Amino acid sequence: MVAFTNILLTIFLTSSSITPALARPSPLSPDPAGAKNVGNGAGGQFIGGACLSSADCASTCCATLNGAGICSGLGAQFQAGKTGCGFGDGGAAAPPAGSPPAAQPSSAPEARPDAGAGAGAGAGAIDASLPGSQNVGKGNGSQFITGQCLSDADCQSGCCAKPKGVCSAVAVQFDSGKQGCGFGAA
């Protein structure tokens, strides 16, 4: 009986010590799927993709991670080992982040009327000074996570979280005060 108990205890301890090792997420590294967006400065790289400067990223934030650039959400630039926006930007993230809104005055005014017409009650005006304001209200899935949105159709993730209208990953649509996807839905 003692031998049987020892065997069961050994199996339990061995399996419980292996399980946590398998459940650990792998270290953060750039997603190779966006290789075509690296270094072109077109702002088409998704969050998690590699970048050479903030101009590559739809979020306007190329964060430094282990000596390389990875596109990051503006609120997550110091998470998971990242050391902030500005990789490849000559030491400062402010000029590239400020440049896109200044270069897009024609697209921001187009988005502003859509906010008044298409947004439901409680929706705020679009802030044209924020990165990604040119993507608000287009409904073509071009807005990055943490960007402003008027509906789920604006977001690459397919989730415009309530109550403020911010693109969110579906998995965290109820985190940090968010009330789920579907902002702007009638």
Q: What is the pLDDT of residues 144-163, one digit of tens each?
A: 888 888 889 888 889 989 88
CB 29 within 8 Å of CB 71 = no
**Quick check: helix, strand or coil at residue 128?**
coil
Strands 68-71 and 166-167: unpaired
Quote the pLDDT of residue 91. Answer: 53
CB of 182 closer than 8 Å to CB of 160: yes
End-to-end C-alpha distance for the chain, whole angstroms:
67
Question: Quick check: bond before 25 cis, omega within 30?
Answer: no
Contact 102, 122 (CB under 8 A): no
Q: CB atoms < 10 A from the CB of 13, how many?
A: 10
Q: pLDDT tens across 28-47, in order?
A: 777 778 888 888 889 999 99
Determine the residue type at 8.
L
Between residues 133 and 120, which one has the greater pLDDT?
Answer: 133
| pLDDT band at residue 181 using 50, 70 and 90 as cut-offs | very high
The reported pTM is: 0.39
